[in-house]
Amino acid sequence: MSTTDNLFYDESAPRFFSVDDGCGPVLSVEHSEAEVVLRFGLGSLRITCYRGPLVRMTYSRREEPDLLPSYAVLSEALVPVPVALQEGDGAYHLTADGVTLTVQQDSGALCVRDSAGRLRMADREHGFLRCETAVGLVRELDESVRSYGLGEKTGFLEKRGRVYHMWNSDEPQHHPARDPLYQSVPVLITEGPQAASALFVDAPGSSWFDIDSGREGVYSVSVEADTLDSYLMLGERTAEVVALYGKLTGQMPLPPLWSLGYQQSRYSYETEAEVREIARTFREKKIPCDVLHFDIHYMDGYRVFTWDPLRFPRPAQLLSELLQDGFRVVTIIDPGVKADPGYAVYKSGMEGNHFCHRTDGTVYVGRVWPGEACYPNFFSPRSRDWWAEQHRPLFNAGVSGIWNDMNEPSDFTGDFFHRSSFTPPQDVVAERDGIIRPLSELHNLYGVGMNMATRRAFEQYRPGVRPFVLTRAGYAGVQRYAAVWTGDNHSYWEHMAASIPMLLNLGLSGVAFTGADVGGFQHNATAELFARWIAYGAFTPFFRGHTANDTQRHEPWSFGREVEEIARKMISVRYSLLPYIYSEFARSRRDGLPVMRPLFLDYPDDPRLCNLNDQYLFGTSLLVAPVLQPGKVTREVYLPEGVWYDFWTGTRHDGPADIVARAPLSVIPLFVAGGSVIPRTRPADHTKSAAWNPLELYVYPSRGSAGAGTSFTLHEDDGFSTAWTEGSYRSTDITLRTDEEGHTLELLVTHDGFDPGRTSLSVILPPGRDPGAYRARGMPGTEVSGGTFEKRENEWVAEIALVPGTNSLTARWK
Ligand code: GLC
């Protein structure tokens, strides 16, 4: 396949040009209950089918695949199903769970059909391919099929037309064509008019995805290894295959509530006095904030796990006072350990043989912030335990969260101008499972290994408390260990806009807890950019303002009174929405679907949404349309099918419709889907527990119909401990129905392991026709209250008293 006309193509990517690269004809077949092994002229293919439908295809150019246990795939997700094998028409036909896989005997070319007989995957010409340095595949990609996923990538939502390299890199230039960045999630999601599928290629070393860059109607994958281990998931729609992928690689644990509040960072708040000043200003100005990040200056000479004795002489006292004032502290940690014989972490790392080596057996010394530094071997459980242990000085001082940076890993001895090489050199090795391996083979897992070690530290020092770990580098499955931020963006309007499709595709790639540096990391934000970005950031899962050391101040009050007021408003709205946001996180943990969602996920039949890059859903009900250019006071918004309400004014729109939304600097266009109930609370300086008091149910009726209504599950618990995993939580299904009789709101407690201590709740309607009287009753049959909706500013409010112990409630009004 020719890719030479593609500007984005990296010349170092392996390519497959000739028929000689094919695996050749099938020479023999072995069949057991759940597995078929085919041996070709060149290499072998093992096919295993699991419940899903999920087909695993492992091709190796060797006799047997040389696979290490996966860090990404959960073994419990692999439930084998029996495979039947038949031969005929020059091919082998494997059938399992309604899926038929055909392998041509002469070429090894594969195709997959589903139970309805639809063609779901087809090799172009040959089966698996191999060349000197890589193995790969080339498959049909019809022009009606759209491509998504691939983790953290630049470019638009739809990924066709480019080559993407999976190789974690410390890449601070996020230009539209720049690739790769820090994270590698090798999952390709495709959706066509017929159905959707996801192909996960479990390749922790270097791999490449060419999504039809040569415009030949194909995609190709090449993995720089002897084995290509892949999982094909089939569904009707993207949502289904994303959920299957979530089962395969695991879901994010429910984060502590405080980590969903606003987080403030700078590289760095350099002294105790500066930190106190920042904290005091937040409280004085009544701008909600839960977290302060300590960047590398808190350390003693950038030695990880130390405190600078002059800048932060009494960390425990400082952190305890901050906590009393509702501020949690998250400290940055880099993997590079300063090579300093007088430094305890280095000494114990050397004594315990915890660092990566060179092939000559010496400990590798690279260069990062502290100067010469060694890299822990996070692939050894023993070294992960050692790393976890090192967190003691941080947890003893009262640190609440850990921010893992530079873990691609970044190495300043590499090629500054070619950031894929800004990492330890080729001759660096690490021991994994008792065998010494080139670090490059494990490269994309380095950050995940570090995050595993950090979670271990939480288990050790904070048992029973939900960890908060933030990471820059990661791989498939990273969501089980850490939230992800997208690294060193710039204060450019373009970078704010580019972060939307990047975060959306991360979400489709299983990573739900994500965000970009609000305001931009490098460069100086303008007041206008900052105001727009903080408004948008308030509606992203991870919400943190951060900026580099050589930039002007980027705190919410750094841009004058008007922008400060806007920041206060947007952050406060986020806090008022925490019952909704937290419940959406709980939902995402259950179903594996993202919190920040491309619109096509929920409106799959609308072709206008397939590559919509400047609008999205935050949670399942809230449509966000950020303003992404300077000088605007309005914004074009496309509202898909259904009823939509302006979040700010309550004005009703009937979709599908193109509207021009009012968007002065103080307004971000937001719309609520008709049929939704959005639980809110009163904003506070900082979060406390997820027992929502007061609880305000904002109700947005849909068009009258006798349909089943829409449901939202409200999640409540203590907000910080792991007790909820033992049942200490409350789940309430909230359903809104609209029919000729009027509106019915039903609350049904489906799990009652936590008492939020509420004695009333309010139901709030958007402005419009006077709703008049309501009747409310607790089940079974206990009249709770009734009355009329009262007008409060421009909303209609009904206060409903709750009888203790009532675990269901119905409210009706006309
Ligand atoms: C890296 C991180 C950035 C951090 C800086 C200093 O550039 O991406 O967030 O502020 O290092 O630690």
Whether 371 contacts 338, CB under 8 Å: yes
Instruction: Decide: 683 in ligand 1 pocket, CB within 6 A.
Output: no
pLDDT of residue 44: 96
Tell me which amino acid residue 235 is: G
- Mutual angle of helices 527-537 and 561-576, in 10-degree steps: 0
3-state secondary structure at position 57: strand
pLDDT of residue 709: 62
pLDDT of residue 704: 63
Gyration radius of the chain over CA positions: 27
Could you confirm whether 405 is annotated as catalytic? Answer: yes
Centre of ligand 1 from the C-alpha of residue 369, in Å: 10
**CA 59 → CA 27, 47, 229, 385, 757, distances in Å?**
15, 9, 6, 34, 57
Q: State the CB neighbour count (10 A cutoff) for residue 191.
A: 26
**Identity of the highest mean pLDDT range in 402-411, 414-423, 707-716:** 402-411
* b/e sequence 360-384, b meaning 16+ C-beta within 10 Å: eeeebbbebbbeebbbbbbbbeebb
The residue from 405, 555, 602, 746 that is catalytic is 405
Tell me the sheet residues that pair with 483: 470
The three state secondary structure string of 390-433 is CCHHHHHHCCCEEEECCCCCCCCCCCCCCHHHCCCCCCEEEEEC
Q: How do strand 371-374 and strand 435-438 relate by DSSP bridges?
A: unpaired
Instruction: Decide: 405 in ligand 1 pocket, CB within 6 A.
Output: yes
Q: What is the DSSP letter of 479?
A: G
d(CA 196, CA 245): 12
| Full strand arrangement of the beta sheet holding 84-88 | 84-88, 91-96, 99-104, 110-113, 119-122
Q: Torsion-angle region of residue 302: left (phi > 0), alpha (psi -120 to 50) or beta?
A: left
Nearest Cα to 736, choosing from 768, 764, 756? 764
* b/e sequence 291-314, b meaning 16+ C-beta within 10 Å: bbbbbbbbbbebbbbbbbeebbee
Nearest Cα to 752, choosing from 735, 730, 778? 730
**∠ CA 808-813-814 to the nearest 5 degrees?**
150
Length of the chain: 814
d(CA 644, CA 469): 36
Mean pLDDT of 71-94: 97
Instruction: Decide: 567 in ligand 1 pocket, CB within 6 A.
Output: no
pLDDT of residue 706: 47
The three state secondary structure string of 440-467 is HHHHHHHHHHHHHHHHHHHHHHCCCECC
The pLDDT-based confidence of 574 (bands split at 50, 70, 90) is very high
The pLDDT-based confidence of 15 (bands split at 50, 70, 90) is low
Q: Which helix (H) or strand (E) holds 243?
A: helix 238-249
Whether 367 contacts 415, CB under 8 Å: no
Which of 169, 332, 404 is the best mutation target for the ligand 1 pocket, counting ligand atoms within 8 Å of the beta carbon and taking the most? 332
- pLDDT for 535-572, tens place per residue? 999 999 999 999 999 999 999 999 999 999 999 999 99
Q: How much of the chain exceeds pLDDT 90, in percent?
A: 88
How much is the pTM? 0.97
Nearest Cα to 316, choosing from 357, 349, 375, 272? 272
Could you confirm whether 5 is annotated as catalytic? Answer: no
Q: Does the pLDDT of residue 269 top 60, yes or no?
A: yes
Which of 330, 331, 406 is the best mutation target for the ligand 1 pocket, counting ligand atoms within 8 Å of the beta carbon and taking the most? 406
3-state secondary structure at position 579: helix
Instruction: Decide: 488 in ligand 1 pocket, CB within 6 A.
Output: yes
Return the minimum-mean-pLDDT range out of 53-67, 100-114, 442-456: 53-67
pLDDT of residue 681: 98
d(CA 494, CA 635): 16
pLDDT of residue 519: 98
d(CA 86, CA 591): 36
**Cβ contacts of residue 298 below 8 Å, gap of 6+?**
268, 307, 308, 311, 312, 315, 331, 332
Reading the block at residue 443, the tokens are: 């490269």
Whether 237 contacts 191, CB under 8 Å: yes
Instruction: Decide: 472 in ligand 1 pocket, CB within 6 A.
Output: yes
Instruction: Decide: 701 in ligand 1 pocket, CB within 6 A.
Output: no
Instruction: Decide: 354 in ligand 1 pocket, CB within 6 A.
Output: no
pLDDT of residue 1: 35
d(CA 273, CA 251): 39
pLDDT of residue 711: 84
Return the minimum-mean-pLDDT range out of 37-46, 140-149, 420-429, 758-767: 758-767
Q: Does the pLDDT of residue 135 top 60, yes or no?
A: yes
Instruction: Match 């392998």 to its residue by tokens.
Output: 103
**CA 648 → CA 66, 762, 794, distances in Å?**
57, 18, 10
Whether 702 contacts 654, CB under 8 Å: no
Q: Does the pLDDT of residue 137 top 90, yes or no?
A: yes
Nearest Cα to 683, choosing from 116, 208, 288? 288
Q: How do strand 483-485 and strand 514-515 relate by DSSP bridges?
A: parallel
Q: Does the pLDDT of residue 600 top 60, yes or no?
A: yes
Centre of ligand 1 from the C-alpha of residue 471, in Å: 11
Which of 169, 183, 263, 267 is the best mutation target for the ligand 1 pocket, counting ligand atoms within 8 Å of the beta carbon and taking the most? 267
- pLDDT for 506-518, tens place per residue? 999 999 999 999 9
pLDDT of residue 194: 86
Which of 302, 488, 522, 547 is the best mutation target for the ligand 1 pocket, counting ligand atoms within 8 Å of the beta carbon and taking the most? 488
Centre of ligand 1 from the C-alpha of residue 305, in Å: 17
**CA 81 → CA 35, 65, 97, 116, 681, distances in Å?**
9, 21, 7, 19, 47
Q: State the CB neighbour count (10 A cutoff) for residue 463.
A: 9
Q: State the CB neighbour count (10 A cutoff) for residue 708.
A: 8
Instruction: Decide: 646 in ligand 1 pocket, CB within 6 A.
Output: no
**Cβ contacts of residue 144 below 8 Å, gap of 6+?**
192, 193
Instruction: Decide: 487 in ligand 1 pocket, CB within 6 A.
Output: yes
pLDDT of residue 740: 85
Could you confirm whether 488 is annotated as catalytic? Answer: yes
Instruction: Match 């409280």 to its residue by tokens.
Output: 283
The residue from 21, 488, 564, 716 that is catalytic is 488
Please provide residue 321's backbone torsions phi and psi, each rounded to the nearest 5 degrees: -70, -40
3-state secondary structure at position 387: helix
Instruction: Decide: 368 in ligand 1 pocket, CB within 6 A.
Output: no
Please provide residue 92's backbone torsions phi and psi, each rounded to the nearest 5 degrees: -100, 140
The residue from 171, 408, 614, 746 that is catalytic is 408
What is the average pLDDT score of the chain?
A: 94
Instruction: Match 């409310």 to its residue by tokens.
Output: 776
d(CA 662, CA 668): 9
Q: What is the DSSP letter of 256?
A: P
pLDDT of residue 478: 98
Centre of ligand 1 from the C-alpha of residue 267, in Å: 7
